[in-house]
Amino acid sequence: MPQPGDASQLQPSSEESLLTILAETVDGLEEAVRGAFLRQFFRSMAQVDLTEAQSIASWKAIVERRREISATGQTLSLRAVLVDVLTSRGLLRAPVLMEFEEFKKLQINAATDSLTGLYNRRLFDEYSDKELNRAKRYGHQLAIVILDLKKLKEVNDRHGHLRGDQVLVLAATTLKNTLRSSDFAFRIGGDEFALLLPQSESEQADTLCRRVRAQYESEVQSFGLEVGVTLDFGIAVYPEDGEKKDDLMTIADRRLYDLKAAGRPRPEPTIIDRDPRETKVEIPPVPAETPVPPRPAPGTASPRAPAAKSEQRKWERVSLAGTKAYAVFSNGGQKTARVLDLSYGGVALVLDSSTELPAQFSAVLHVPILPPVRVVLRKAYTKQTEPGRTRVGCSFVS
Q: Is the backbone peptide bond immediately before 269 cis, with ω within 30 degrees of 0?
A: no
pLDDT band of residue 53 (cuts 50, 70, 90) is confident
Query: Is the per-residue pLDDT at 35 higher than 50?
Result: yes
The crossing angle, in degrees rounded to 10, of helices 31-46 and 100-111 is 140
Torsion angle in degrees (nearest 10) through CA of 292, 370, 339, 331: -120
Please name each of the domains of the chain with its CATH number. 13-111 (no CATH), 121-268 (3.30.70.270), 319-396 (2.40.10.220)
pLDDT band of residue 321 (cuts 50, 70, 90) is confident
Residue 64 CA to residue 58 CA, distance in Å, equals 10
* pLDDT at residue 365, as a whole number: 87
Closest CA to 105 of 40, 153, 159, 176: 40
Closest CA to 147 of 202, 203, 194: 194
- The enclosing H or E element of 263 equals none
Residue 79: which residues within 8 A CB-CB, separation 6 or more? 15, 16, 19
* pLDDT at residue 368, as a whole number: 72
Residue pair 197/250 in contact by the 8 Å Cβ criterion: no
Read off the pLDDT of residues 110-154 as tens digits, 9 standing for 90 and up: 678 888 989 998 889 989 999 999 999 999 999 999 999 999 999
H helices of the chain, in order, are 7-10, 14-28, 31-46, 52-71, 78-88, 100-111, 121-138, 152-159, 161-178, 202-220, 245-262, 309-316
- Which 8-state DSSP code applies to residue 344? S
What is the mean predicted confidence (pLDDT) over 157-163?
A: 92
Residue 62: which residues within 8 A CB-CB, separation 6 or more? 78, 81, 82, 85
What is the mean predicted confidence (pLDDT) over 289-299?
A: 44
Reported as half-sphere exposure (CB side, CA atoms, 13 A), residue 60 has a value of 8
Read off the pLDDT of residues 68-120 as tens digits, 9 standing for 90 and up: 767 666 666 666 677 667 777 777 655 545 445 544 554 566 678 888 989 99
* Distance separating the N- and C-terminal Cα atoms of the chain: 85
Phi/psi class of residue 282: alpha, beta or left (left: φ > 0; alpha: ψ in -120 to 50)? beta
Read off the pLDDT of residues 244-291 as tens digits, 9 standing for 90 and up: 999 999 999 999 998 887 755 444 444 434 444 344 444 444 444 434
Q: Is the dihedral of CA 148, 150, 154, 160 positive or negative?
A: negative
Residue 232 CA to residue 218 CA, distance in Å, equals 15
What is the mean predicted confidence (pLDDT) over 26-31?
A: 74
Q: What rounded mean pLDDT belongs to the chain? A: 76
Three-state DSSP state, 155:
helix
Can you give the pTM of this predicted structure? 0.48
Q: Which is more confident, 358 or 68? A: 358
106 by Cβ neighbours in 10 Å (0-12 / 13-18 / 19+) ranks as: buried
**Dihedrals φ, ψ of 312, to 5°?**
-65, -40
Q: Which is more confident, 368 or 114? A: 114
Q: Which of 45-49, 167-171, 295-299 has the highest mean pLDDT?
A: 167-171
Residue 351: which residues within 8 A CB-CB, separation 6 or more? 335, 336, 337, 338, 357, 389, 390, 392
* pLDDT at residue 129, as a whole number: 92
